Amino acid sequence: MTTSLPEGTTGVLVLADGTVMAGIGVGAEGEALGEVVFNTAMTGYQEILTDPSYMSQILVFTFPHVGNVGVNVEDLEQIGGGAETSACGAVFRDLPTDPANWRAQGSLDAWMKRRQVVGLAGIDTRALTARIRDAGAPHGVIAHSATGQFDIPALISRAREWAGLEGLDLARAASTLQPFEWNEGLWQWPEGHVQSGEPQAEIVVVDYGVKRNILRALASTGAKITVVPATTDAESVLARNPDGIVLSNGPGDPAATGQYAVPEIRKLVDSGKPVMGICLGHQMLALALGGRTVKMAQGHHGANHPVKDLTTGKVEIVSMNHGFTVDRDSLPEAVQETHVSLFDGTNCGIRLKDRPVFSVQHHPEASPGPTDSLYLFDRFMDAVRAHRSA
């Protein structure tokens, strides 16, 4: 059955409970299925939409004005692919504005069309955000058609039948297929992204859906970087004789990806080499050390999250994007909690007491910001240099 919606409707968001929100379609025509989450960042919509950690998710932007800085090739966060390995849909309060920025190379709407990202504008995003905050992240379908005709019962059924992110390994699809090297550093005025200088240490990054700015931040500390696929075994990583290993961010359920990744992470930890985990890498490191992870109701998504570093007492404003969390009560005695969220008290960092191994839930590369946690890359490289000296 095709349902005719109010005049001017070219897009809908349909939730598994039967809720239908009508608006104006943006970006690609078609349908996208996923978990609906809100993001509270005021800047960085292109970086957010290209973060592989948002794979199989529909993003609701709480900031009402989106599109004014356009898009460009430098601000892409994923290494390759499009909406199939990043956010599949986006919901805005207002229609994206025309670009008015010296770095813009195109409009957000046209870029979303090319990437096959389905968008919807004209929605009360405050009400939708409050709903997600109170009831948890729902399953939904976002649809865009110039005809304004949608089979609402079919869309509801599709949303209800989706199993969700629990038990879903998405890192394998988000990861690179072949190893590659990286030497581009962080963005600097006026040069832009500069090439790193003489390498001080060789680092292997296990790619579960890595963001470019993680690689840039590492390169800017003096790392010579080799990125390897998510399914790479520990023996192959260690055969490269790295000075340190980074477990990257990525999408999906850490317990599902951990079926093949956790045994290899245990071997990497047992090697004695410095290890740093970020986001999904943090969660899977916790699993490898004997902890467990649990699904959050709405997760943490934004660039204004306060986190306390328990080792220094410093409170940082950080970027976050995760729907699973490490259960601190499951952590063994050998693991120390190092960071906590000041929003809800959830775990945001751990370290081994007797080895140079640590991880954080938040994003220290934080593209486009804030940069309060960039020091963690220096902390990791200090551990690398100390291990080399020893």
Query: Which residues have a catalytic role annotated?
Result: 279, 363, 365
- Give the three-class secondary structure for 99: coil
Look at residues 185, 184, 219 and name the one whose alpha carbon lies nearest to residue 201: 219
- Give the three-class secondary structure for 130: helix
Query: Whole-angstrom Cα distance, residue 390 to residue 117?
Result: 50
For residues 249 and 116, the answer to whether their CB atoms sit within 8 Å is: no
CB atoms within 10 A of CB 143: 25
CA 171 to chain centre: 11
CB atoms within 10 A of CB 5: 16
Largest Cα–Cα separation, the chain:
71
* DSSP secondary structure letters along 199-221: -SEEEEEEESS--HHHHHHHHHT
Tell me the two tokens of residue 187. Answer: 């963005």
Look at residues 243, 130, 242, 118 and name the one whose alpha carbon lies nearest to residue 179: 242
First to last CA, the chain: 70
